Structure formats: structure tokens, C-alpha cells
Amino acid sequence: MGVGDKVEKGQVLAQVLSSELVALQQQYLTARSNLQLASLEQRRDKTLLAEGVIAERRWQETQAMHNSKAALADEAKQLLLMAGMTAPDISVLDKTRKLDSLFYAMLGGLLFLSCRMPRNLPPLIVN
């Protein structure tokens, strides 16, 4: 694929062969799973606190753990964005939980610029 070629929305533009990108995606998915678990624990402990079953201290610890997991998930997302993934790509990763090294056209039209290389990634293999 080169400058001047027509592309369709959703068409694969390039594939990045990068173990680092796959590792970042896995780190993100793990962080999101940990955040989901912390959210469930937070909801449970909120109910238990309201019923007087647990102490305020336990509730504070649960909130702190949830906030920590949320920060780790946000950090993992930011690293994916810095690696060149778009927010829609990350949403697809969230839904499918499938690691992917493909970059897709967000719009249809003519390709008029060459691909910009994110820092710290190997060269692109263009379809």
C-alpha cells in the first residue's frame, strides 16, 4: 500500500511485528481484569459497610485498592496510546480480549501520507 492508494474504512493498513506491543496489550488486559475484580469487591464491601458487617477501616482499604487498580489500568491504556493504538482500537481490545498487531483505516479515502512510526516500535510491514 502506498501514497495515492484508495483505502476503505476498516481496511488493514499495516501490521506491527512487535513483542513489546503484544506485551503492552496483555498488561492492559490484566490491569482491566484486576480493576474489574476490585470494582466487584468495592461494591460488595459498600453493602457490607452499610449493613454494619465490616469496619470503616476495611472500606477504606477496599477503596484504596480500587483506586490503585484504576491507576494501573489507566497507565496501561496510556502506554498503548503512546505505542500508536487508538482509543477505538483499545475499545475493541477490551471487548474481544484478543491481542492484535494490525492497524486499520479509520476513514475511507486516498492514502496521502506514509505511516508515522511510534517511538520504540520496529518498522511497519505495510500490506
pLDDT in tens, the chain (127 residues): 666 777 777 766 666 667 888 899 999 999 999 999 999 999 999 999 999 999 999 999 999 999 999 999 999 999 999 988 889 889 989 999 988 766 656 666 665 555 555 554 444 434 4
- Cβ-based neighbour number of residue 103 at 10 Å: 19
pLDDT of residue 21: 87
What domains can be seen in the chain, in order of their start residue?
1-18+101-127 (no CATH), 19-98 (1.10.287)
CB-count burial class (<10 Å; 0-12, 13-18, 19+) for 85: buried
